[in-house]
Amino acid sequence: MSAERPSLPPVRLHTEAELARDALAAPLLARAVRLARWAGPATRVGAGGELVEAQLPAAAEHLGLGDDEDGAAYASEAWRLAVDTGLLDVEDPEGEEAEDDAEGTVTVGENLGLLTSGSPQDVLAIWLDGLEAVHADATAPAFDDFADLIGEDGSVDFEALDWDPQEEAEFLDGVLGNLYLLTLSEAGPADAPVPLPALAASMVVPEDMGEPTDDVLEQVSEVMMRLDDQFRVLAPIGIVEYRPVDEALLTEEGEEATPPADDEDVTRYGMVKLTPLGLYGIRERMLEAGVEAPAVGDLADKGADVLLDGIAYYPEEAARTEVGLWLGRRGTDEAEAAAAELLGAARGADERAPLRRLPNSSRVRGRWRDSSARFGDT
């Protein structure tokens, strides 16, 4: 924990066992698992590992989507995730020299067994791989955007498409970071969903702007539709609960949904909410990117000085919980020593000492009183 004020408030995560159950229940991963168990020696896959078109109806039927007009697309999406997460292993028939129409072979991947016999950490690691794959899909251009740019050899002229994958990924990460911050903010929506126009505006409207200009409102509208497409892709992996933009608005107002006026039903313009699994997944992505994203419980095994420094900027409830977890790591026999450690850490003449003593001492004393029956008189 840095001595500097963290850029994000602490998140209270569900247990790994709870998160693993949520991951297994995510619709896209659940479908991928079903297809991985369905696949056999006769399953036909293309040289790139995709399920051949002729097999998609059977795969959709196995998923219970035979009557769904998008069933084949859902089956293809689930198959790709099964391959991307190691639930299935695909081997090219002739390695790199294989023809485009050559077919590969498929076998059960090692990770399929880990989903049932592995630890919660194993399950979450596989789910995170799936999140990475879905995140990449969400930032990829739509097929209609590059259908005319596909050459005879199947290659795509991405320069002509004017698509920067890194820029697109960073933009989506910025959106998810803003949603994460809004979810954790004391002034935020708590368990309520965030209106899509507000989330889009957080990426476009400058903080010091008063009344948005028509140009800015047009940008917000464009971002809304961009996010609508992306959240539709992200929702099946379990990261968000998403209510899409009402398609009637597109018919009523043209090709794009304009931001709502004050007297309009904002829910029609899309509503998004991070799930507990989404909070975990975004935090993991932030940590991997080097962002300091504290979680309640991070300080439970640290010294009292690190504890008091760390909770200096925590909201009241999070600080009390963190102190309670810190005390809980120390048994009744260590109660006096723990109290002495806290008092010693609160002393000092450095510039942070007053902050340790004033805000946190009341929290510690309050939490200590709450725990007195457990730890005995000190």
Question: Could you tell me the two tokens for 340?
Answer: 């002495």
Distance between first and last Cα of the chain: 29
Beta-carbon contacts of residue 118 (< 8 Å; ≥ 6 apart): none
Sheet of 45-46, strand order = 45-46, 103-108, 88-91
Q: Distance between CA 373 and CA 113 in Å, rounded?
A: 45
User: What integer is the mean pLDDT of 94-117?
Assistant: 76
Q: For position 378, what pLDDT does the model report?
A: 35
* Gap between the Cα atoms of 252 and 163, Å rounded: 30
Q: Does residue 301 have a pLDDT over 80?
A: yes
Any residues with CB less than 8 A from the CB of 266 and at least 6 apart, and which? 195, 197, 260
Do residues 178 and 199 touch, judged by C-beta distance below 8 A? Answer: yes
Angstrom distance (rounded) from CA 195 to CA 128: 26
Q: Region 275-288: what's the mean pLDDT? A: 96
Q: Reply yes or no on whether the pLDDT at 377 is more than 50.
A: no
Q: Dig out the tokens for 216 from the structure.
A: 């800015």
Is 184 exposed, middle or buried, given 0-12, 13-18 or 19+ CB atoms closer than 10 A? buried
pLDDT of residue 368: 33
Tens of pLDDT, residue by residue over 208-225, are 676 777 788 888 889 999
Interval 307-345: pLDDT, tens: 888 888 788 888 888 888 888 887 666 777 877 887 777
Q: What pLDDT score does 39 carry?
A: 92
State the virtual CA torsion across 195, 201, 202, 203 in degrees, nearest 10: 120
pLDDT at 100: 53
